Amino acid sequence: MKEFSITISGQSFLLLAQKAMLWKEEEMLIISDVHLGKAGHFRKNGIALPSSSNDDNLHQIDELIQKWNPKTILFLGDLFHSEKNEEWNTFKEWRQSYKSISFKLVMGNHEIYPQTDYELLGIECYTHYHKSDILFVHDNSDVKTTSDMFCISGHIHPAIRLKGKGRQSLRFPCFYKNEISMLMPAFGNLTGTYSIKPKKNDTVIATLDDQLIRIQ
Amino acid sequence: MNKNQGRQLIEKWFSNNNWEVFPFQKDVWNAFLTGKNGLLNAPTGSGKTFALWMPNLIRWIDNHPNTYQTLENNGLQVLWITPLRALAKDIQNALQSSVDELGIPWEIGRRTGDVSTSIKQKQNRKMPEVLITTPESIHVLLAQKNYARHFKKLQCVVVDEWHELLGSKRGIQTELARSRLKALRPDLQTWGISATIGNLNEALEVLLGDDHSDDRSTIIRANIKKEMKITTILPDKVETFPWSGHLGLNLLHKVTPIIDAHTSTLVFTNTRGQAEVWFQNILAARPDYAGQIALHHGSLDREVRNWVEQALHEGILKAVVCTSSLDLGVDFRPVDTVIQIGSPKGVARFLQRAGRSGHRPGAVSSIYFVPTHALELVEAAALKSAVDESEMESRDPILKPIDVLVQYLVTLAVSDGFLPDEIFAEVRKSFAYQTLTDSEWDWILTFITTGGKSLGKYPEYSKVIVDEDGLFKVVDRKIARRHRMSIGTITSDSMLRVKYLSGGNLGSIEETFIASLNIGDKFWFAGRNLELIQLKEMTAYVRRAKGTKSKVPSWQGGRMSLSSNMSKLLRSTMQKAIDGNTDMVEINAIQPILEVQKSWSILPGEDQFLIEKSYSREGCHVFFYPFEGRYVHEGMSTLVAHRISKMVPITFSIAMNDYGFELLSDQDIPIEKALENNVFSPDNLIEDISASLNNSEMAKRKFWEIAQVAGLVFHGFPGEQRKTKHLRMSSGLMFDVFTEYEPGHLLIQQAFDEIMFFQLDELRLRKVLLKIQKQEIVLNQTKRFTPYAFPIMVDRLREKMSSEKLIDRVKKMQTQLEKHV
């Protein structure tokens, strides 16, 4: 399947195979851990990589915008990966081409640009964002467990490992949901992943190329 | 003054020292003095150094009959290149004492990575008459401004241990450096020294490039036959001797008595991890050895290694457990026996190691072979017969590596700049680049000036600029500094230093190993039990630990392959065992296991190719036994897996050792049908392998190495090393991005070529496939894993290949999961 519907706090969400999520009532596209500028970061650290991957990330968001026509895009942190480099300029131009869309950013731990830099581009910044009893943060370990809001977060780049006969094993980035929270997969294509160990009643939706598949 | 004054003086000096001049030394002197270039084939400890050193002095004396004892500051006359820093010091001492005794006021200098900056600066002001150095250090010299001034008087280049450099990128560096020096000094004479290898003639051609010609160059063979005593350590009961394994500790109790019985013993292991384990177990078995035995491998701190080498030299160590780190190097006279743990994989290596004992003309070399699993007993028998037949492995030269050339050109651009036409002509005269095309050359020039198509946008990759005179040079000082730091062709995983909390270096260890540890975990390193205290700035701080539950680091890169020579010997020894046509003790010892193999399947003879198929809880296993060594099996398993996966959607897990390989799948493997389709056909070999290589881990790893040599990866200045953790996955990334955005990238192409040629050994693979066409293929269904199959089956390091759709694999795994629950 390409999309997967879930309900959280009475609101309907659509998980997308592109590792993003759509909040239907709010017409809000939610994307986590894009890590733009990583290629430049690699170059700065002595590893030659062209920025094409960066452009690819933005193209993928373009496609999502065309398909779902959102009013708002919410980034769940780690939008940019360290130092300012020329990829920032590309991003600036890109942002300005979507004047009618509202951009929101929950600040992440890799976000080393000051909030004001984003605000100058017309991006609203938050340390956490909540609406309709749903809390959006970058890293959910920052949230006190006593919170009674459902929490949606990114940061850890969740992946699920599957094992089969014949010593086979596969790993896929995934959405990972339990009673009180959900983790989103990292959107960026230059990111690593972390294998989760789900409990019995948790929901795990893996992303394979252009497909979603429910693991449990 | 008579015209033979030089020679007479030298011969007199020999006889004053009670040495005789060997015939081969005289031959070299004669050839050298008539102006020839050449190659001397002689083992270490035979007097090879003086064979090539003396004619330089003879000529000096003859050219300066009255002043040879007074002329000083004569400029650099002889460049002596050696692959190993440790050797440089020995040679320096030998050469220096000879000129001192002869009253020639020459200075013998050394310039290697471990020589202090102040000495190097002194050399920059005034070069000694002789400089002993490594290929990397010459390139660093070539990166200096106005480097040509050093070589104005250069007469001769001697390349020591040429067989060690040949077939490596350091050999290419040597060829390139020589091509430059030759252009500066057209009359430059070049000689190499090589141990016996299968392709000596080719070795000479590679060394000399287009200077090679039949009447101007020559090979001189020392023909020294070393007497050798080979003993195999046999297990008491072969029935209980393991079928697989690589440590060999079962025979420890038979190794310590050998150490006891000799003055000084070298214990060779194949990997650094194995050396650590053996060292620790010998000490546990014989605590009284404490202080008398030592450990030596490439990850230990240079100072520790120097101490061990010195102690060996002085004869104060009873035994040293080592790896190939002591294959070459200083002359350890006190060593009177060698123990080899596990297969040495090649005849030449085995003999070289044996030769580390009895290191004196006329002395007997003695070596003990300790098998680590049952089938290695057959290898032991094969090795013994090899010594009599003495057919040696070849070292195949590398052709046209783009990365080394890129590095070299930037080196020249960093120093004085270069004119492309001039350097192109020089480079084309070397053996390695004789087929370099104009378009390849243009690509390389574009790459170093703009970064090429994929990196063209980024100023940091436009390293070289072209000035108005057409001179290619580096002007940016940061780029120049970075480049000088990165000269070299030896690449490795990123390493962490291991240090005591209280100070004191122990050596370096692969980051991937440390990453698998938590703070407080214990591990063995440098022969010590250590506890990890903290990780800071690429350094692992440790303290001594107690207890027995410590891990042993596993270093990568220790998986050598059987040489083709060795595998031929192995098969013919097997055939003798089948024919019952041998009374070798090793074969008798392993007979019970061969009987098991025979009754559960067959013992394949030289004209048979055995395939075994069996089923287990894991799925369907098919084993193939070409006995051609790990590398060929790597290529062949990929090929066979790829061809079967074209017939039916299927996923494989692939394992291999030196004897054979295994395809494992969760579903039935249609090997019967594959055989009908001639799955071993040599047709379309390259296409089929390339198809399966695309995107493989192997290609990515290779590209990472090449990228480092070509300057696409910079490891940071000392003291400001970057955190590599989050950059670690970049090897795969770089490969993906370049293949996607710049198909035809020469460095990517090179990665595939190197895999084809060196890793998978395409030529040999093709020969093997042709051989299989003539063999009788025997396909046996076996109920149990046979003695041949078992060691492959238990290998956990596996390659993967699949032609199934991802989604189908996931669905299958899910249903299998449900069955389990």
Lowest mean pLDDT among A11-25, A135-149, B779-793: A135-149
Q: Is B618 at the interface with chain A, CB within 8 A?
A: yes
Locate all alpha helices (DSSP H) within B20-105, ordered by sequence: 23-33, 48-63, 85-102
Strands A123-126 and A102-106: parallel
Closest CB to A47 among B454, B734, B800: B734
Residue in B619, B712, B737 closest to A52 by CB:
B737
Q: How far apart are the first and last CA of chain B?
A: 99
Interface check for B817 against chain A (CB to CB < 8 A): the answer is yes
pLDDT over 50 at B246, yes or no: yes
> How distant is the Cα of A188 from the closest Cα of chain B, in angstroms?
13
In chain B, residues with a C-beta closer than 8 Å to the C-beta of A206 are 810
Residues in chain B: 821
Q: Which residue of A has its CA nearest to B802?
A: A168
Chain B positions touching A47 (Cβ under 8 A) are 712-714, 727, 730, 734
In angstroms, the CA B344 to CA B562 distance is 8
Asked if pLDDT for residue B820 goes beyond 50, the answer is: no
> What residues of A are in the B interface, CB distance below 8 Å?
42-43, 45-53, 162-168, 170, 172, 190, 192, 206, 208-209, 211, 213, 215
Q: What average pLDDT score do residues B467-494 get?
A: 84
User: Which residue among A46, A50, A211 sits closest to B807, beta carbon to beta carbon?
Assistant: A211
Q: For B493-552, write each residue's pLDDT tens digit.
A: 566 788 898 888 888 887 767 777 778 888 888 888 888 888 776 788 899 888 767 777
Q: Are the beta carbons of B497 and B487 closer than 8 angstroms?
A: no
User: Cβ of B810 and A49 within 8 Å?
Assistant: no
Chain A residues in contact with B455 (beta carbon < 8 A): 48, 50
* Token duo for residue B129: 């008459």
Query: Three-state DSSP class for B213?
Result: coil
Chain A residues with CB under 8 Å of B806 CB are 170, 208-209
pLDDT digits (tens, 9 = 90+) for A31-47: 999 888 877 777 777 77
DSSP letter at B755 equals: I
Give the residue ranges of DSSP H helices in B649-729. Answer: 671-676, 685-693, 697-709
Of B618, B620, B730, the CB nearest to A167: B618
CA distance A11 to B615: 51
Average pLDDT over residues B264-283: 91
Q: Please name the member of A46, A211, A215 whose beta carbon is closest to the beta carbon of B715.
A: A46
Comparison of pLDDT for B179 and A77, the residue scoring more: B179
Answer whether B816 touches A (CB < 8 Å): yes
Q: Which two tokens stand for residue B68?
A: 């040879």
Single-letter amino acid, residue B503: G
Share of chain A above pLDDT 90, in %: 45
CA distance A165 to chain B (A): 5
Which residues sit opposite B267 in a β-bridge? B321, B339
Reply yes or no on whether the pLDDT at B819 is more than 90. no
How sure is the predictor about B559, in pLDDT bands with cuts at 50, 70 and 90?
low
Phi and psi angles of residue B255, each rounded to the nearest 5 degrees, phi first? -85, -40
A168–B653 CB contact, under 8 Å: yes
- Cα-trace Rg, chain A: 17
Amino acid B534: pLDDT = 83
Confidence of residue A153 (pLDDT cuts 50, 70, 90): very high
The residue type at B604: P
- Residue spans of beta strands (DSSP E) within B601-710: 608-616, 619-624, 651-656, 661-665
Instruction: Please indicate whether, in this complex, the C-beta atoms of A208 and B741 are within 8 angstroms of each other.
Output: no
Checking if the pLDDT of B328 tops 80, the result is: no
- Top residue of A44, A49, A56 to mutate, by most chain B CBs within 10 Å, is A49
Q: For residue range B91-140, what is the model confidence (pLDDT) as tens digits?
A: 999 999 999 999 999 999 999 888 899 999 999 999 999 999 999 999 99
Q: What are B417-428's pLDDT values in tens digits?
A: 999 999 999 999
Q: Which of A91-100, B306-315, B551-560, B747-756 has the highest mean pLDDT?
A: A91-100
Question: Does the pLDDT of residue A10 top 80, yes or no?
Answer: yes
CB pairs under 8 A between A and B: 98
> Does A45 sit within 8 Å of B727, measured CB to CB?
yes
Q: Which of A12-21, A105-114, B77-86 has the lowest mean pLDDT?
A: A105-114
- What's the average model confidence in pLDDT over B37-65? 91
Q: Which of B102-111, B401-410, B764-773, B797-806 has the lowest mean pLDDT?
A: B797-806
Task: Give the CA angle between residues B609, B615, B617 to the nearest 5°.
Answer: 145
Q: What is the pLDDT of residue B330?
A: 64
B520 contact partners, CB below 8 Å, separation of at least 6? B531, B532
Strand A72-75 to A102-106 pairing: parallel
3-state secondary structure (DSSP) of residue B436: coil
Of A158-172, B169-183, B379-393, B721-735, where does the model show the most confidence?
Answer: B169-183
The whole-number pLDDT of residue B821 equals 40
**Which of B454, B714, B807 lies closest to A50 in CB terms?**
B454
- Indicate the residue type of B10: I
CA closest to B801 among chain A residues: A168
Q: How confident is the model at residue A26 (pLDDT cuts 50, 70, 90)?
A: very high
Percent share of chain B, pLDDT over 90? 50
Has residue B445 got a pLDDT over 70? yes
Q: What is the DSSP string of A7-57?
A: EETTEEEEEETTTEEEETTTTEEEE----BTHHHHHHHTTB---THHHHHH
Interchain pair B730, A213: CB under 8 A: no
Q: Which helix (H) or strand (E) holds A163?
A: strand A158-164
Helix (H, G, I), strand (E, B) or coil at A105: strand
pLDDT tier at B247 (50, 70, 90 boundaries)?
confident
CB A202 within 8 A of CB A216: yes
Q: How far apart are CA B81 and CA B135, in angstroms?
A: 7
**Cα–Cα dist B394/B564, whole Å:** 10
Q: Is A77 left (phi over 0), alpha (psi -120 to 50) or beta?
A: left
Q: Answer for the pair A83, B490: CB distance below 8 angstroms, yes or no.
A: no
Residue from the list A46, A172, A206 with its beta carbon closest to the beta carbon of B714: A46
pLDDT per residue as tens digits for the range B758-767? 777 788 889 9
Report the residue of chain B nearest A192, measured CA to CA.
Answer: B729
CA distance A133 to chain B (A): 35
Residue of A nearest to B722 (CA): A45
**Do the Cβ atoms of B655 and B632 come closer than 8 Å?**
no
Nearest to B737 among A45, A50, A167 (CB): A50
Residue length of chain A: 216
B455, B653, B816 member nearest A50 (Cβ)? B455
Residue A58 Cα, gap to closest chain B Cα (Å): 16
Output the CA angle B341-B344-B350, nearest 5 degrees.
105
Please tell me which residue, B820 or A51, carries the higher pLDDT value: A51
Residue B665 structure tokens:
């799948």
Of A49, A165, A170, the CB nearest to B810: A170
Contact B618 A190 (CB under 8 A): no
The Cα-based distances of B803 to B286, B672, B695, B736 in angstroms read 54, 19, 13, 20
The answer to whether B793 faces chain A, any CB pair under 8 Å, is: no
Please, what sign has the CA dihedral across residues A104, A106, A111, A116? positive
Helix/strand/coil for A60: helix
Q: Do the chains contact at A166 and B653, CB–CB below 8 Å?
A: yes
pLDDT tens for B340-359 read: 999 888 888 888 888 888 87
Condensed to tens digits (0 to 9), the pLDDT of residues B355-402 reads 888 876 677 889 999 999 888 999 999 888 877 666 678 888 999 999
Which chain B residues have a beta carbon less than 8 Å from that of A213?
807, 810-811
Q: Give B545-551's long-range contacts (Cβ < 8 A, gap of 24+).
A: B547/B522, B549/B522, B550/B522, B550/B523, B550/B524, B551/B516, B551/B517, B551/B521, B551/B522, B551/B523, B551/B524
**Do residues B597 and B377 touch, judged by C-beta distance below 8 A?**
no
Q: Has residue B557 got a pLDDT over 70?
A: no
Confidence class for position B696, pLDDT limits 50, 70, 90: low
Write down the pLDDT at residue B389: 62
> Which amino acid is located at B533 in the chain?
I
pLDDT in tens, B718-729: 544 445 544 555
- The whole-number pLDDT of residue B220 equals 95
CA distance A94 to chain B (A): 19
Q: Do B619 and A52 touch (CB under 8 A)?
A: no
Identify the pLDDT of residue B188: 96
Distance from CA of A167 to the nearest CA of B (A): 7
Residue type, A68: W
Residue recorded with tokens 């999309």: A3
- Answer whether residue B172 shows pLDDT above 90: yes
Amino acid at B196: T
With H, G, I as helix, E, B as strand and everything else as coil, classify residue B505.
Answer: strand
Burial of A58 (0-12, 13-18, 19+ CB in 10 A): middle
For residue A23, how many C-alpha atoms fall within 13 Å in the half-sphere facing its CB?
Answer: 20
Report the chain B residue with the minimal C-alpha distance to residue A171.
B810
Give me the mean pLDDT over the B686-709 stretch: 78
Q: Do A49 and B730 touch (CB under 8 A)?
A: yes
The DSSP code sequence of B84-111 is -HHHHHHHHHHHHHHHHHHT----EEEE
* Interface check B729 vs A, CB under 8 A: yes
DSSP B341-404: ES--SSHHHHHHHHTTSS-STTPPEEEEEE-SSTTHHHHHHHHHHHHHH-PPPP-PPP---HHH
φ, ψ (nearest 5 deg) of residue B651? -120, 130
The yes-or-no verdict on residue A78 having pLDDT over 50 is yes
pLDDT given for residue B228 in this prediction: 84
Nearest by CB to B734, which of A49, A172, A211? A49
Q: What is the mean pLDDT of residues B584-589?
A: 89
> Of the candidates A47, A166, A215, which has its C-beta nearest B730's C-beta?
A47
Q: How far apart are CA B634 and CA B628, in angstroms?
A: 10
pLDDT of residue B537: 67
Contacts of B734 in chain A (CB under 8 A): 47-49
Contacts of A170 in chain B (CB under 8 A): 806, 809-810, 813
pLDDT digits (tens, 9 = 90+) for B303-323: 888 889 888 888 899 999 998
Whether B706 and chain A come into contact, CB under 8 Å, resolves to no
> Chain B contacts of A49, Cβ < 8 Å?
730, 733-734, 737
